[in-house]
Amino acid sequence: MIRSLAVFSAALLAAATPAAAYTNTDAALLPSSVGYQPKDALEKGLWLEMNEQERLMRGSKFLITEPGINAYLRSVLCRAVGKDKCGSVRIYLLRTPQFNAAMAPNGMLIVWSGLLLRVRNEAELATVLAHEFAHFEKQHSLQSFRDIRAKTDAMTWLSFVPGGTLAQIGLIGSVFRFNREMEKQADMAALDYLGASGYDAMAAAQIWEQLRGESEAAAKPSKSGAVKEEDNDFFSSHPNTKERMEYLQAAAAKKPSNGESGAERFHAVISPWWPSLIEDQVKLSEFAATEYLLGSLARDGWTAGLLYARGELYRARGKKGDFESAESYYREAIDKDEALSESWRGLGLALLRQGKAEEGRKALRKYLAHTPGAGDRAMIGMMAQEPSK
């Protein structure tokens, strides 16, 4: 549904050209300022529409409301852009496995849980949040909307978008598509935020390169084996990878070299969510992209969590030899961290699929012993029982 809406919105925007006539440069008038109010009828109408979409967002069944992780996201944003600015932002974390984040002109920031799986540290997370904030602060969506409105009755086709949370994600992520110059401005602003807040500025280049690799792994290659950047919807409005890496790396090299990654803090927060993030990703059934993603995250070594994830991936595919491979990955994960109880469950299920019933039931019982409050306890408990004689 999201993808089809994105295509629909993109088609509506195909005739639009970059907006240049309206640029708000007065810092006192920026939307991140305390007490900012829309300035004219068009902006007021846009805010009213976004306020309604935000009302629907608050009731979404996909919304992750757990206080700890939401507080963490806000702390990263506030450190990156400054506490004096982040107060204008409301963050909504949605359980959606793909990479995405989008910010509406009224201060609503939507983060998909797939983003948390794809960043390797806090600095990379800060990069994405600061990038979206820069679009908001520079009023790029308003500039684009003014340009669209000058050419067509934008409010009329906005009414075509069906209601509901999934629809509004497409609305924000696709209707307000930014041109490449705007994307570059947001890139550079995010880089400045990283440098000023003490984060490793090189994270800005690393996250986009990693996403490009995953996109290419997921795409069907042409006869030459190459994947065209314009074939990928996410990157169609972004500077190409080579150009992006060059200007980000060159600019990052001029920033302080002692910036921190915040990797330990990030992993401490994400660790309890890791099994559910992996579960959602594996359900996408995108084996090549997920395999690339895990390998990219393991650049500094295969952790217990990554090995568990790889076991889940192979077990879910279930081709010849996959259950044996999954068993191996689960065992490696257990060797590194026996307390990651989901590895015992995966091992038990992989062993059962190979016909190693007694060993499989034993592994499942260890999972249950490690996880007394497991949501799947009843089902796994039945599978772990010795057969009646």
Which CATH number, 1.10.10.10, 1.25.40.10, 2.40.30.10, 3.30.1490.20, labels domain 271-384? Answer: 1.25.40.10
Tokens of 131: 């990038």
What are the C-alpha distances in Å from 337 to residues 294, 302, 306, 308?
A: 18, 12, 11, 10
The share of the chain scoring above pLDDT 70, in percent, equals: 79
The DSSP bridge pattern shows strands 108-112 and 90-94 to be parallel
Give the pLDDT confidence of 325-374 residue by residue, as tens digits.
Answer: 999 999 999 999 988 999 999 999 999 999 999 999 999 999 999 998 88
Neighbours of 331 (CB within 10 A): 16
Average pLDDT over residues 215-234: 53
Does pLDDT of 149 surpass 90?
A: no
- Give the separation between CA 226 and CA 29, rounded to whole angstroms: 45
pTM attached to this predicted model: 0.80
Pick 1 or 139 by higher pLDDT: 139
Alpha helices in the chain, H assignment, sequence order = 2-13, 41-58, 67-81, 83-86, 113-118, 122-137, 140-149, 154-158, 165-170, 180-197, 203-218, 241-252, 263-270, 274-282, 287-297, 304-317, 322-336, 341-353, 357-370, 377-384
Average pLDDT over residues 227-249: 61
Q: Where are the domains of the chain?
A: 2-252, 271-384
Exposure on the CB side of residue 30, measured as CA atoms within 13 A: 18
- The pLDDT assigned to 38 comes to 82
- Give the separation between CA 323 and CA 350, rounded to whole angstroms: 5
Give the pLDDT confidence of 4-62 residue by residue, as tens digits.
Answer: 333 223 322 332 333 333 344 444 567 877 778 888 888 888 888 889 989 999 999 99
Confidence class for position 239, pLDDT limits 50, 70, 90: low
- Give the separation between CA 100 and CA 132, rounded to whole angstroms: 10
Pick 320 or 165 by higher pLDDT: 320
Give the pLDDT confidence of 171-204 residue by residue, as tens digits.
Answer: 455 445 678 888 999 999 999 999 999 999 999 9
- The pLDDT assigned to 319 comes to 96
Confidence class for position 388, pLDDT limits 50, 70, 90: low
Question: Kindly report the CA angle at 53 between 51 and 54, in degrees rounded to 5?
Answer: 60
Q: Give, as one character, the DSSP assignment of residue 175.
A: I
